[in-house]
Structure 1
């Protein structure tokens, strides 16, 4: 009888010594490499000049899409981020277009109708094209290069501009595990 208790105790002790136990669980989100979290989106400026079609294909090759601007809060966050990410750049492709529906704009990467359209001065000019860029006017009146805020502008999809790719932040769960000789921290995609 004593022998069976000793063996049971030894087996339980051995199992506990090698068992990894999750002590703490924490969730967070992060952007992929080369993307920056701006509000609830991860954004990346592509500094290469491309047509709208090339820019869209490039973003998709990164499992992302061209940026969409769905409200004034998103626009303000993007406008605050652009001078840091792409100083002195005046124009960027967005996912906005009216391809197939002249005069009616959609966000390509979400498929939703573009209801928030913060137009640049003298826009929209529907005869200028079918794709939307974020465009900023500039001035050198003070002797310095001064860029205005970026607003939407209709442009020909075959012209060249830089672009902004967007992707949702990836959710992760952090587990802290303990065993007999050390503890480990693992970040697991959710």
Structure 2
């Protein structure tokens, strides 16, 4: 009788031991090392002065692309971040360009057509180049120097400017799993 119960218990334990109970589950979004989360993406400012092509190559080496943005909300968050990270830097490369002779600007980092284009006053001036920078107007007064928000400006792709790399958030799903066999271990007298 005891051996029958023991066999049934052992079989039930083996069957249940194949299943795991998920005690908790959490999704975590993180940025790569040295990147900062801004507007749902990960950004990294690089103060080396490079042309568009070198800047793009640098970002690609980090598994990232040059900066892009979709709307006013993203640009506002990027402007706030730039004001704290590099308060005196008037311009940075974006991935925006119309290389290849297209009429429209595209974000090289995403391959999408740039729809939201908040231009600086007097822009765009295509004769000045095919690439886009974020440019802030600098005003010097007796009280000091102030900068306006960064807005898009057309630039020659060989111009030397610092840049911002963007990488997607890395999404991780964590689970705390409990092995049900851990609760059914039993010592049987010999």
SS in 1 for 2:60: helix
Q: CA deviation at 1:125?
A: 1.5
Q: CA deviation at 1:14?
A: 9.2
RMSD value, Cα: 2.4
Q: CA deviation at 1:123?
A: 1.3
Question: Which residue of structure 2 aligns with residue 75 of structure 1?
Answer: 75
Q: CA deviation at 1:5?
A: 2.4
Question: Which residue of structure 2 aligns with residue 65 of structure 1?
Answer: 65
Q: CA deviation at 1:96?
A: 0.4
> What is the TM-score normalised by the length of structure 2?
0.84
Q: Does the aligned pair in 2 maintain the 1:103–1:126 contact within 8 Å?
A: no
CA distance in 1, matches of 2:50, 2:86: 16
Q: CA deviation at 1:13?
A: 6.5
> Which consecutive unaligned segments of at least 5 residues does structure 2 have?
183-190
> Which consecutive unaligned segments of at least 5 residues does structure 1 have?
181-190
Q: Please tell me whether residue 100 in structure 1 is matched to residue 100 in structure 2.
A: yes
SS in 2 for 1:140: strand
SS in 1 for 2:80: helix
CA distance in 2, matches of 1:52, 1:120: 19
> What is the TM-score normalised by the length of structure 1?
0.84
Q: CA deviation at 1:143?
A: 2.9
Moved more, 93-102 or 127-136: 93-102
Question: Which residue of structure 2 aligns with residue 109 of structure 1?
Answer: 109
CA distance in 1, matches of 2:14, 2:104: 69
CA distance in 2, matches of 1:5, 1:47: 73
Q: CA deviation at 1:29?
A: 1.3
SS in 1 for 2:88: coil
Q: CA deviation at 1:177?
A: 3.4
CA distance in 1, matches of 2:7, 2:142: 87
Q: Does the aligned pair in 2 maintain the 1:102–1:126 contact within 8 Å?
A: no
SS in 2 for 1:157: coil
Moved more, 102-111 or 31-40: 102-111
1:138-160 CA distance string (max 9 Å, x none): 11214312111100011111111
CA distance in 2, matches of 1:104, 1:16: 61
Q: CA deviation at 1:15?
A: 9.4
SS in 1 for 2:144: coil
Q: Please tell me whether residue 46 in structure 1 is matched to residue 80 in structure 2.
A: no
Question: Which residue of structure 2 aligns with residue 143 of structure 1?
Answer: 143
